Amino acid sequence: MEECRCHHGHHCHSVATHTWALVPLCQEHFETVKKETELYYKKRIAYAARLTYLSIIHLIPWSRKEWGYAIRRD
């Protein structure tokens, strides 16, 4: 089993049960990224407020090309 790849605040050592954009995540981090994404697309939070998502963005294959490192200023 793979380990969760989230590094928001600390390195998570939980077992990955889901993936987000091909990145293995534990249940807790998967739910957090999902909630951040919903709030962002509903325009309730800024891109920079997606802290858990931003901690894994460098692992998302299709995000690497926009890697001026995905810190957008909305």
**Structural domain contains residue 4:** no
**Structural domain contains residue 9:** no
Going by C-beta distance under 8 Å and a sequence separation of 6 or more, which residues neighbour residue 38?
none
**Structural domain contains residue 47:** yes
**Structural domain contains residue 2:** no
The parts of the chain modelled with pLDDT lower than 50 are: 70-71, 74
Q: Show the CA angle centred on residue 28, arms to residues 23 and 34, nearest 5°.
A: 65
What is the pTM for the complete model shown? 0.82
- Domains held by the chain: number: 1
**Structural domain contains residue 27:** yes
**Structural domain contains residue 29:** yes
State the pLDDT at residue 50: 96
Range of the domain at 26: 18-66
State the pLDDT at residue 62: 83
Residue-wise pLDDT for 31-43, tens only, equals: 999 999 999 999 9
**Structural domain contains residue 5:** no
**Structural domain contains residue 1:** no
State the pLDDT at residue 63: 80
